[in-house]
Structure 1
Amino acid sequence: MISRVADPAFQKMLSGFSATTAEVLYHMPDHPDFLQSFLWQFEDVAPQFPRLHRFLDHWRAEVEATIHSVSVMHYGLIRPRELRFGSEHRLQ
């Protein structure tokens, strides 16, 4: 008998995880006028973004660079789809 178990990645999507991209603009202490970019793609739960907040807390505590700004983009992997109806053809 075959046991059917949902894929763990699919279960994460159902529980609210979405594809997330964060861009962190930062500068090093020795070059405060030179902004650098760190781009990170991961799965997180919008709008709280707990994984992103843990990462930023770690950055502030452990990384020498100072964060200038953070941009966050996310895309829900499971959501309602739009159905468009173009025309109707009847066979008689």
Structure 2
Amino acid sequence: MTDRAFLVQLDGYGLTTAEICYFMPDHPLIVQTFAWQEYDAAPDFPVLFDFLDYWRREIEADIQSVRIAHDKLMRPANWRSADGVISWED
């Protein structure tokens, strides 16, 4: 069985982390943070925006800001010699 994370990366998804700052109704002057992480496709971030839609519908906390970090973990290999000289000696 193949790992789900590997399969979504093959589909072009990368690891997305979002820091969500929000206010709870019982503490409206305190900014709290929630860290969210999932595989998502930049630049549209459909998985993140689905989660934020769910948050706005179901959670009684006003979102103040969302900060996003994204990295495609799978990319073509890049190899070079540390001294700049490529040698195939045995």
- Partner residue, 1:43: 39
2:16, 2:68 within 8 Å by CA — same for their partners in 1? yes
What amino acid sits opposite 1:54 in the alignment? D
Unaligned 5+ runs, structure 1:
none
What amino acid sits opposite 1:65 in the alignment? A
What is the TM-score normalised by the length of structure 2? 0.80
- Partner residue, 2:57: 61
Larger Cα Rg: Structure 1 or Structure 2? 1
How many residue pairs get aligned? The number is 86
The 1:28–1:15 alpha-carbon spacing in structure 2 relative to 1, beyond 3 Å, is: same
- Aligned-pair identity in percent equals 45
Q: CA deviation at 1:24?
A: 0.4
Distance 1:90 1:46 in 2: 39
The 1:88–1:58 alpha-carbon spacing in structure 2 relative to 1, beyond 3 Å, is: closer
The 1:83–1:90 alpha-carbon spacing in structure 2 relative to 1, beyond 3 Å, is: closer
2:12 corresponds to 1:29: no
What amino acid sits opposite 2:26 in the alignment? D
Q: CA deviation at 1:89?
A: 5.4
Displaced runs of 4+ in structure 1, greater than 4 A?
A: 88-91
The 1:90–1:55 alpha-carbon spacing in structure 2 relative to 1, beyond 3 Å, is: closer
- Out of 15, 26, 44, the position equivalent to 1:19 is 15
